Amino acid sequence: MSKKALLVMDVQNSILKLLGSGAADYINKVKLAVEKAHTAEIQVIYVVVRFKKGFPEVSANNKTFSAIRQRAEDFEESLNSNSTDPVIDPIGDDLVVIKKRVSAFSGSDLEMILRAQEITELILCGVATSGVVLSTLRYAADSDYKIKVLSDCCYDGDDDVNRILMEKVFPRQADVITLDQWL
């Protein structure tokens, strides 16, 4: 039997600003996924993006994060903090992994934790589908993890991109299911 982990990625205040009024409904779905994982004794890992004060890790060549650096006042408190800032409070054996790039694996110790815990199956959810979910899925697939994507626990600002990823791209490397199907 494979050991599993639910990765709750970029579900943090600074990122959820992008959801606007839909944030509460989204968070409730993710909380239900976390509860399900706890009930099934599946490891829950919150992955959050965090930078040092002044963003020294952000290259001007990195289009995604250099834009954040330019809007530092919007992200200063939550991205340049010693707190972990997941919106859902970790409990028990939940882990928080801090990353420095889009993928949950890049610039973090996630892979080391998964290997040490002998986790071979990942259940993915997060914001944004075209960012952290896509990048993490691709890396995990190349690393031979079994992958499930909770389609309704992922969010992207572009509905068309979200749909194409869920219907055409992700199924090539993962099982795309709804939260109800996983429950």
Question: For residue 182, which amino acid is it?
Answer: W
pLDDT digits (tens, 9 = 90+) for 29-39: 999 999 999 99
Percent of the residues in the chain that have a pLDDT greater than 70, as a whole number: 84
**Is residue 77 pLDDT above 70, yes or no?**
no
Dig out the tokens for 7 from the structure: 């990765």
Question: Before 60, cis peptide (omega within 30)?
Answer: no
Residue 166: C-alpha distances to residues 20, 36, 111 (Å): 22, 22, 24
Average pLDDT for 144-167: 96
Quote the percentage of the chain above a pLDDT of 90. 63
Taking alpha carbons only, the member of 99, 97, 100, 96 closest to residue 65 is 100
pLDDT band (50, 70, 90) for residue 53: confident
Q: Can you read off the two tokens belonging to residue 58?
A: 């952000």
- φ, ψ of residue 44 to 5 degrees: the values are -105, 125
Specify the CATH class of 3-50+85-182 in words: alpha beta
Predicted confidence (pLDDT) per residue in 88-101, tens digit:
888 999 999 999 88
Mean pLDDT of 71-100: 71
pLDDT digits (tens, 9 = 90+) for 166-179: 999 999 999 999 99
Here the tokens at position 37 are 């994982």
Phi, psi of 89 (to 5 degrees): -70, 125
Q: Is residue 81 scored above 80 in pLDDT? A: no
For residue 47, report the phi and psi dihedrals to the nearest 5 degrees.
-110, 120
* pLDDT at residue 157, rounded to an integer: 85
The burial class, CB within 10 Å (0-12 / 13-18 / 19+), for 38 is middle
3-state helix, strand, coil in the chain (%, to 5): 45, 25, 30
Identify the pLDDT of residue 38. Answer: 96
